A and B are shown apart, each in its own frame.
Chain A
Amino acid sequence: MSEKLEQDIYSAISSTLENMAFMEVGKEVAEAVRYPDEDIVVSRLLIHDPLPGELYLSMPKLLLGKIASSVYIMPAEELSEQMLLDMLGELINTVAGLFLNAYLPEDQAYNLGLPENVPVGENDSPFEMKTWDFHVDNDLFSLTLAGDGYFQEEEA
């Protein structure tokens, strides 16, 4: 796994949450709380080109509620399910842009799809993939990148 890929993924997710919700993302997840599937929501975003792939962002509803509460400046209990899912979509959209801007050459154009919510466990991408676990406030969440072109260095 290239160090740059690792660094760009972490930088994208930490910048997104810090800038949107003033939340710090941690990489040490040994002590973090792992939530059961029924408490998790997942959003998927297709990367059309130049390197086809997919990003999946899986988050516990509780954490998503904290993030949305910070962004909307509303108590978490007043946020609708739709607002939470929309928040998740905007997060993955922003993460994807920051990641590709950092990972690809500066003048390289790229095209993204639209975020879509998918059931937990449906990240069975046909591409090679890697999942990174992070935490915010000790709540574990994960980001998965799928796409053969992103892992070529490792194969070589």
Chain B
Amino acid sequence: MNRIVIADDSATARMFICRCLEIIGLGEATLVQAENGREALSMVKEEETDLLLTDLNMPVMDGATLLKWVKSSPRLHDLPVLVITSAGNPAKEQELTSLGAFGVLNKPVSPAVLMDALKPLMS
């Protein structure tokens, strides 16, 4: 993967996810951080992106809205979106998967869990 966008309003969460990505061998990708869904949307539009990791609860634009925008865009439709949230459960996972999410992980995420979730995307 060359470029990964991480959307979370918490700098701590973004840093934590970056650390996990580095541990699982994706540290050489360009890791781009966004503080909300709107910022993330701009970032995935401005340059080709291989993966979008997003929180759900964010100001300005939440993760579910971001997911809908991405999946409704012909240009971005195929971008894998992995939701990493503290508010995830089977009901939410089903809802987000039906919206087109590649996967849903609960916080706190760990390198092993992230690795497992991203395995289908990693060559």
Q: List chain A positions with a Cβ less than 8 A from chain B.
A: 15-16, 19-20, 68, 71-73, 82-83, 86-87, 89-90, 93-94, 96-98, 100-101, 104, 106-114
Bound-state CA distance A97–B107 (Å) is 8
Name which residue of chain A comes closest to B9, CB basis: A114
Query: Is residue B13 within 8 Å, beta carbon to beta carbon, of the partner chain?
Result: yes
A75 to chain B, nearest CB (A): 15
Q: Among residues 30 to 47 in chain B, which have CB atoms less than 8 Å away from a CB atom of chain A?
A: none
Q: Place the interface of chain B in its size category.
A: 20 to 34
Quick check: B106 and A97 within 8 Å, CB to CB?
yes
Please, which residues of chain A bring their CB within 8 A of the CB of B89? 100-101, 104, 106-110
Evaluate contact between B11 and A101: CB separation under 8 angstroms. Answer: no
Please give the distance in Å from B36's CB to the nearest CB on chain A: 11
**CB pair B15 A111 closer than 8 Å:** no
Binds A, one of B70-78, B80-88, B114-122: B80-88
B27 to chain A, nearest CB (A): 14
- Which A residues touch B110, using CB under 8 A? 19
Contact of A71 with B10 at beta-carbon distance under 8 Å, contacts A19-B108, A108-B89 already known:
no
Q: Which residues of B contact A96 (CB under 8 A)?
A: 86-87
Q: Which positions in B face A, CB cutoff 8 Å?
A: 9-13, 15-16, 19, 57-59, 85-92, 95, 106-108, 110
Shortest CB distance B78–A (Å): 28
A109: nearest chain-B partner, CB-CB = B91
Question: A83: which B residues are within 8 A, CB to CB?
Answer: 11-12
Q: Are B15 and A112 in contact (CB under 8 A)?
A: no
Q: Is the CB of A112 within 8 A of B11?
A: no
For B10, the closest partner residue in chain A by CB is A90
The 9 closest A-B pairs by CB, nearest first: A97-B86, A90-B12, A19-B108, A90-B10, A109-B91, A94-B107, A107-B91, A93-B86, A20-B108
Q: How far is the CA of A31 from the CA of B53 in the complex (A)?
A: 42
* Inter-chain contact A101/B106, CB cutoff 8 Å: yes
Question: What are 16 of the A-B contact pairs (CB < 8 Å)?
Answer: A19-B110, A73-B19, A82-B11, A89-B12, A90-B10, A90-B16, A93-B13, A94-B86, A97-B85, A97-B88, A100-B89, A101-B106, A106-B89, A108-B89, A109-B92, A112-B57
The 8 Å CB contact of A93, one of B10, B11, B15, is B10
The reply to whether A16 and B9 contact each other, CB–CB distance below 8 Å, is no
**Residue contact A89 to B92, C-beta cutoff 8 Å:** no
